[in-house]
Amino acid sequence: MTAPETLRFENHRLILIDQTKLPGELTELVCTSVAQTHDAIRRLVVRGAPAIGIAAAYGVCLAVPADETGTPGRSRYIDAIESLATSRPTAVNLFWALDRMRQIVDSTPEAELKDALVAEATRIHEEDRQMCHAIGRNGAPLLADVQTVLTHCNAGGLATSTWGTALAPIYHLHQTGDAPKVIADETRPLLQGGRLTAWELSQAGVDVTVITDSMSGSLMRLGKIQAVIVGADRITARGDVANKIGTYPVAVLAKHHGLPFYVAAPTNTFDLQLDCGDDIPIEQRGREEVAAPHGVRIVPDAADVLNPAFDVTPAELVTAIITERGVIKQPSRDAVAEHFANA
């Protein structure tokens, strides 16, 4: 049993699993415009850095309806790219995908733009499928002797086009019957671990247990976790990693308990223009996600709320970064540069 495809593009429509409804309800949202795509990304109907990039690429194609005749011109596509770039600020894959779409807009005759943009978005989608499987192959040996692995947030198929990033090595091992047990922390405030990771792993038949975010340190101390693997939304030139809020304290706990802390991400998640993680823009989300999750008010109106969507884990806490090209052990500026130079 496997989870359905996170997103697809059919008949000039972007069709998304509505991840805000999981696990209670499996429904799809159909986007037929740039505005609808922007809203779906902003509201986390689609989330996860690779999936955001793919959705945005298809969203550009929706700037012009399928049945419109004549030559649409470049300006509507450029406006779409600029609009979609404002949907979420941290995941670099969004900007990477939009840059590729902009290159098509700039270099293609106007009469051919509509088909060329759909073809490029489709290539981005297919490349992500291939990268996910390569990350699975490259990361599997690191988890081969691990009995139980902890993951934070959701970096599986729901965050990408297929196996995901952090979950890809687990899915790869699952094919041979050697997958480790997975502990998914709930991942406050939106519970992507409890709602999404647990849902898709159980759909695939992988042994998964959900814990509250505050339990991981105790389980590490008791020897019930042997490794941690997470995804990433942006990685700097020196290997600092931006990921879902709460990743940094998990990395600190892993370091304290002598456990490997792995990050899995495609090379398009690297922002080599940034050296230090402190320079990564961190998205600040709305009060209600913390104060009234799922419509249940748990914080008094008079109390302030902080809700950063991401935090930064310094490279020195990362044991290795797994990409579709291989493994960067003990990430550093030189190690990252070598990884890209050997491509």
- Beta strands 270-271 and 28-31, pairing class: unpaired
Q: Is 168 annotated as a binding residue?
A: no
Catalytic residues: 233
Residue 23: asked if its preceding bond is cis (omega within 30°), the reply is: yes
Q: Is 255 annotated as a binding residue?
A: no
- Burial environment of residue 148 by CB neighbours within 10 A (0 to 12, 13 to 18, 19 or more): middle
Q: Count Cβ atoms below 10 Å from residue 232 Cβ, excluding itself.
A: 28
Q: Which two tokens stand for residue 229?
A: 């693997």
Q: Is 47 annotated as a binding residue?
A: yes
The answer to whether the beta carbons of residues 289 and 307 sit under 8 Å apart is yes
| SS3 at position 237 | coil
Q: Is 192 annotated as a binding residue?
A: yes
Q: Is 243 annotated as a binding residue?
A: yes
The answer to whether the beta carbons of residues 274 and 289 sit under 8 Å apart is no
Closest alpha carbon to 124 in 155, 152, 156, 161: 161
Distance CA 342, CA 331 (A): 15
The answer to whether the beta carbons of residues 55 and 160 sit under 8 Å apart is no
Binding residues for substrate: 47-49, 88, 192, 243-244
Q: Annotated binding residues, as ranges?
A: 47-49, 88, 192, 243-244
